[in-house]
Chain A
Amino acid sequence: MKLSTQNLLGIRNLNPEDIQLILSTAQQFKDVLQRPVKKVPSLRDVTIVNLFYENSTRTRMSFELAEKRLSADTLNFAVSNSSTSKGETLLDTVNNILSMKVDMVVMRHSASGAPHFLAKHIPAAIINAGDGINEHPTQALLDAFSILEKKKKLKGLKVAIIGDILHSRVALSNIYLLTKMGAEVMVAGPPTLIPKYIKEALGVHVTYHVSEALAWCDVANVLRIQLERQNQPLFSSLREYNLVYGIKKDMVDKLKKEIIIMHPGPINRGVEIDSDVADGPHSIILNQVENGVAIRMAVLYLLANREN
């Protein structure tokens, strides 16, 4: 039993069996994380570099912790204090790192497709930790894992993804994963932040009314407004965004069903989601963070085995 791919570039390249394998392996690692000794020796001869060309708190710490829990050796690279500022190219940087005998590369980059480019040119296993506005596969996997913990199944489940769909790699990875596993997806947000042909291209429902999405869904995944990727005004103000598209407590309270509220973080409180919802009983935001370590352990473990 193994993955059909040697790199994790995106959910797009995975088949449902791969996703199932990662999720079930993650369950075993979650058990490991409950033990007194939260560490196993599986990857003790594997060296992994965390190459972060873009800021990150959760993902970088989660990957580093996952690597340490698997007994791998880790190297951390932050672009701000590296030779990238002296003009070294991505490929040169990675080739230099690999000549120090590194087996796997975890990479976040602001350019979509950067990990795909690397995968074509270097022999190490590459794990995409977020590339531009393309994909963030481990986030989608941990989201699915967290949903499964609460709802026990993905097939037939209704998941609403609410917010900045256009600039969100979390949204794209989630849409790929959920539709591959048989869930229904609805995207909601301002028309300027939803790609025009997303319905035709990805087979999702589209609404411009958050209340409609909430009434429809079993799970609401709320996304951050990615101001850093918007080079033109796409809505008038954060305050107006909150008034029209923000998730507020009374909207969740008046639903006649129990829904799950998720958020990949970092949260902009009072913009896309209000504090009393983010910290409320429906929220599983911190469970998502906890499950992230188990998911990343599963991905690293399954990709460490390379028969070549």
Chain B
Amino acid sequence: MKAILTEEQMALSIKRLTRQVAENHLLLENTVLIGIQPRGIFLSSRMVDELKNLMPHENIKYGKLDITFYRDDVRTELKLANTTDIPFDIENKNVVIIDDVLWTGRTIRAALDALLDFGRPAKVELCVLIDRRFTRQLPIQPDYVGRTIDTFADQKVVVHWQETFGKDEVLLV
């Protein structure tokens, strides 16, 4: 087991990611943030809190997306669905998809499909805390990355959050 990000590093990375998103989406007028259920929403909630501190007057549009019903492996593995909550229109909006770990890219593929059922965004970007390089099964790349790491396929990246584990950290197991 090896620590990839400590609590302090994780806090800094999340601050940086938030600022990078804010830099590219000045005023956030036409931008919506969407966290991927279940684990992406810890990161997205932190980023939304951070954005609120950064620009207190902005009305930040933040939704949660569950991609269970859009997965391509329903026949082999059953996953339980979580709530999808997108209380606004995404038509012609700039969407920033937020997830914790980018690995094969299949979750993001499903998320793109799911998003299309809610409308046609002007642009979709991807923000992840950890990018596992060279493990992609689909041509999907992130726009904002907390930390890029090289891993073997049999390794696991575990992200712990204060909310569920009592402590923020990223481990390679």
Contact = CB atoms under 8 A, between A and B. Distances in A.
B80 A304 contact: no
Interface stretch (B5-13, B18-26, B70-78): B70-78
B74 A42 contact: yes
Interface stretch (A28-36, A130-138, A239-247): A28-36
Interface in B73-119: 74-84, 113-114, 117-119
B69 interface: yes
A255 interface: no
Residue in A28, A31, A35, A304 whose Cβ sees the most chain B Cβ within 10 Å: A28
B75 A305 contact: yes
A1 B113 CA distance: 24
Contacts of A29: 69
A307 B77 CA distance: 8
Contacts of B79: 1
B135 to A, nearest CB: 24
A40 B117 CA distance: 8
| Interface secondary structure of A, over-half rule | loop
A237 to B, nearest CB: 50
Contact of B80 (A1, A45, A306): A1
B119 A36 contact: yes
A37 B117 contact: yes
Interface in A4-52: 21, 24-25, 28-29, 31-32, 35-37, 39-43, 45-46
Contacts of B131: none
B169 interface: no
A113 B83 CA distance: 37
Interface in A30-77: 31-32, 35-37, 39-43, 45-46, 70
Interface residues of A, number: 26
B75 A45 contact: yes
Contact of B74 (A31, A35, A305): A305
Contacts of B80: 1, 21, 24-25
A259 to B, nearest CB: 30
A28 B67 CA distance: 11
Contacts of A145: none
Given A28-B83, A36-B117, A305 B69 contact: no
A1 B70 CA distance: 18
Contacts of A24: 80
Contacts of A45: 75
A305 B77 contact: yes
Nearest to B86: A35
B82 to A, nearest CB: 8
Contact of B69 (A1, A21, A32, A306): A32
Contact of B76 (A1, A43, A301, A305): A305
Contacts of B117: 35-37, 39-40
Interface string A264-288: 0000000000000000000000000
A305 B118 contact: no
Contacts of B66: 28
A301 B74 contact: yes
A302 interface: yes
A221 B68 CA distance: 34
9 contacts: A1-B78, A1-B79, A28-B83, A29-B69, A31-B83, A32-B84, A35-B118, A36-B118, A36-B119
Given A46-B75, A301-B74, 11 more contacts: A1-B79, A25-B81, A28-B68, A28-B81, A28-B83, A31-B83, A32-B69, A41-B70, A42-B70, A304-B74, A304-B75
The 10 closest A-B pairs by CB, nearest first: A40-B69, A37-B117, A28-B81, A305-B78, A42-B69, A2-B78, A42-B74, A1-B80, A41-B70, A305-B75
Interface of B: 66, 68-71, 74-84, 113-114, 117-119
